[in-house]
Amino acid sequence: MTEADRRYRVIAWGTGAVGTELITTIIDHRPDLEIVGARVYSADKAGVDIGTLVGRGAIGVAASTDVDTILALDADCVLYTPRNTSIDDVCALLAGGKNVVTTAFLFHPQRTAPEDRERLLQACRTGGTTVHGSGLNPGNLSGVLPLALSGMSRTIEQITLQERADWSVYDSTSITFDNMAFGRPVADISPTGTEFLAFNSAIFTEQVWLLADALHAGIDEVTATVDAVPAESDHQIFDRILRAGTTAGQRWNWAGRRDGRTLVEIETLWTVGGEYPKHWPRPRHGWTLTIEGDPSMQTHFFSLASFSRDVDMAEHVRSANVATAMQILNAVPAVCAAPPGFATAATLPLIRSHTGFNNR
Ligand SMILES: NC(=O)c1ccc[n+]([C@@H]2O[C@H](COP(=O)([O-])OP(=O)(O)OC[C@H]3O[C@@H](n4cnc5c(N)ncnc54)[C@H](OP(=O)(O)O)[C@@H]3O)[C@@H](O)[C@H]2O)c1
């Protein structure tokens, strides 16, 4: 059997917005992947067929809330997309012989907290497995794309990725309100303000280190700062109300610095509620990547469900989930083939669409 004929047994750990795109893609487009289990968190999803859960026909495999049931399954790879991550669970999966691809964290585990890094590495060695974190951003746009463009660079002076996103249209309000802390007092928003904000800041910090390490920037620190801006009036955001005076804008900046000079930078201009702070820059929606160097390059990225068809807003928004999900799903064979340990955009081969035009 050649690598191209190989079938992979996969587990979906998380069946939210991203997990649903993973599962529907496997059912609709990926005969080389077999879903053997799904880890769910909501009791009402337990025991439900995974196909039914995502609006497809039944596939004969039931979702489970029981971690031991999932750990006992025989699988090549786990598609790990929970809202909140667990190093314990990921280490158990890796040590048990299951590779892990995730959109949630571990984008550059070499730069994660040393105690976590050692535990993860030991689990990979025990199980002979590999873990890879990627997605849209963090992921392709802050890893794969800059590294790919750098192939045209003679020298680099500075890399900046600026993300402008209006999260009002993102229908996971548990992520925007509970995790990202929109609607909370402005004073709560800092790199250590809540457990999730600290976690989120750490993953973008890791992403800056990834580019800096891969491109020999020799930085000595990554700083994290944020400007949080209150709403002027109330806004209904799906099932929540964003109250006037609470956080409606977050401008984060992660700067990788060498001797105080910023060499690699990720900046986000995030809003919920449709107001826009007057003192912020006004880039186009999406992501603008600027590489200052020889030569200097700039590219702007945004995704839609279609540039030609008439599509509703919800589908356009969903396209970012598709992109996020595909970056890890397309990576499954490469991650399964990688040596045990950590795999990143800097170590894996270029991840391409498995299905593509589908005219084999
Ligand atoms: N790298 C990137 O570019 C990128 C982009 C988008 C998202 N993400 C990340 O990808 C992950 C999935 O995002 P999403 O939009 O799919 O989120 P989501 O729609 O909110 O769903 C996430 C999953 O979290 C599960 N969950 C519920 N309670 C939980 C708990 N206490 N602990 C852990 N998980 C719990 C849900 O399970 P039930 O459905 O069973 O309740 C659901 O399957 C998140 O970590 C998100 O931050 C990354």
Task: Answer yes or no: are the C-beta atoms of 211 and 242 closer than 8 Å.
Answer: no
Q: In whole angstroms, what is the distance from residue 281 CA to residue 249 CA?
A: 13
Backbone torsions φ then ψ of 209, nearest 5 degrees? -60, -40
pLDDT bucket at 141, cuts 50 / 70 / 90: very high
Q: Where are the domains of the chain?
A: 3-136+322-343, 140-302
Q: Pocket of ligand 1, candidates 39, 44, 81: which has the most ligand atoms within 8 Å of its Cβ, to mutate? A: 81
- Helix pair angle (17-29, 313-329), 10° resolution: 70
In this prediction the pTM is: 0.96
Under a CB-based contact definition with an 8 Å cutoff, are residues 49 and 27 in contact? no
Q: Which residues, in sequence order, are CB contacts of 122 under 8 Å at separation 6+? A: 91, 95
- Cβ(106)–Cβ(76) under 8 Å? no
CATH class of the domain defined by 3-136+322-343: alpha beta
Pairing of strands 77-80, 99-102: parallel
Q: Which protein residue has the closest C-alpha to ligand 1 atom 12? A: 81
Residue 160 to residues 97, 118, 168, 302, 309, Cα–Cα distance (Å): 38, 30, 25, 16, 32
Owner of token pair 């190093």: 87
pLDDT band at 113 (very low <50, low <70, confident <90, very high): very high
Q: Share the mean pLDDT of the chain.
A: 97
Tens-digit pLDDT profile for residues 16-65: 999 999 999 999 999 999 999 999 999 999 999 999 999 999 999 999 99
The pLDDT of residue 192: 97
Atom nearest to 175 CA in ligand 1: 20
Smallest CA separation from ligand 1 atom 1, residue:
135
| Tens-digit pLDDT profile for residues 330-350 | 999 999 999 999 999 999 999
Within 6 A (CB) of ligand 1 lie: 14-19, 40-42, 45, 81-84, 103-104, 135-139, 172, 174-175, 324
Cβ count within 10 A of residue 255 = 20
Testing ligand 1's pocket by substitution, the residue of 22, 39, 41, 83 carrying the most ligand atoms inside 8 A of its CB is 83
Q: Phi/psi zone of residue 24: left (φ > 0), alpha (ψ -120 to 50 degrees), beta?
A: alpha
Q: 71 versus 5: which is more confidently predicted?
A: 71
What are 6-9's contacts with CB under 8 Å, separation 24+?
6/32, 6/333, 7/31, 7/32, 7/33, 7/34, 8/32, 8/33, 8/34, 8/76, 8/77, 8/332, 8/333, 8/336, 9/34, 9/36, 9/73, 9/74, 9/75, 9/76, 9/77
In angstroms, what is the span from residue 29 Cα to ligand 1's centroid? 23
SS3 62: strand
Minimum CA distance residue for ligand 1 atom 47: 104
- The single-letter DSSP state of residue 49 is B
CA distance 175 to 139: 18
For residue 2, pLDDT beyond 80: no
